[in-house]
Amino acid sequence: MSDNADADRHSPLVAGAECLLDAATIRAATAALGASISADYAELQEPLVVLLVMNGAVVFGGDLLPALALDVELDYVHASRYRDDQATDALTWQRPPPESVSGREVLLVDDILDAGVTLAAVAERCYQLGAVKVRSAVLLHKHTPTPAVIAADYVAFEIADRYVYGWGMDYRGRLRNAPGIFALPC
């Protein structure tokens, strides 16, 4: 099934939106990102702790993990600033980083970097728990009028400031399974 036919079987919202990145493009960039990350950690003597930031990173992480030519120890964190699709100042931890990050190198994997508040808080918590070094890999870096409070170390794609969904990112709690990255009409 082609990427377009795959998109057609999803919600009418996907069909009416603009496809910014199709599955083949995302997978190729993720493979390249995996090669770059693997090269940077090639000398690491113990497993790299990879923490997926839930829920958004599950699809991107599922593509990235097999692209890593490294021994990894996988876990996840679940923190959010969003309530009813609206960003808030308060971060809610549903699952903080595990204490096993102490003395270890950590790679945070997230779907999108926009304000960067959540990613910065997760990194800070990892350092508080004794992580030696924390880096981050994101599928998308969204360029917003206010720059992010943290920079990602690895970025698959740079995008304009638009509402996007698919490939793990949701639209009102749905469509995380959309077969690409889609933007709502302007």
Euclidean distance between CA atoms 167 and 59, whole angstroms: 6
pLDDT, average across residues 80-94:
72
**Residue 186's pLDDT band (cuts 50, 70, 90):** confident
Fold entry, domain 3-7+21-180: Rossmann fold (3.40.50)
pLDDT tens across 119-174, in order?
A: 999 999 999 999 999 999 999 999 999 999 999 999 999 999 999 999 999 988 88
The encoded tokens of residue 103 equal 């003395």
pTM > 0.75: yes
Q: Can you give the pLDDT at residue 88?
A: 62
State residue 39's pLDDT score: 98
Paired tokens of 123 = 């990194």
Alpha helix stretches (DSSP H) within the chain:
3-8, 12-16, 23-40, 57-67, 117-128
* Cα 58 to Cα 66: distance, rounded to the nearest angstrom: 13
Cα separation, 50 vs 101, whole angstroms: 10
Q: What count of other Cβ atoms lies within 10 Å of the Cβ of residue 180?
A: 23
What residues contact 95, with CB distance under 8 A and at least 6 apart? 54, 76, 77, 78, 79
Residues 6+ apart with CB under 8 A from 50: 61, 65, 68, 72, 73, 74, 75, 106, 107, 109
Q: Write down the pLDDT at residue 16.
A: 75
| pLDDT surpasses 50 at 1 | no
Nearest to 21 by CA among 159, 141, 155, 142: 159
pLDDT, tens only, 15-66: 678 999 999 999 999 999 999 999 999 999 999 999 999 999 999 999 999 9
Q: Where are the domains of the chain?
A: 3-7+21-180
pLDDT of res. 185: 81
State the pLDDT confidence band at 80, using cuts at 50, 70 and 90: confident
pLDDT value of position 84: 59
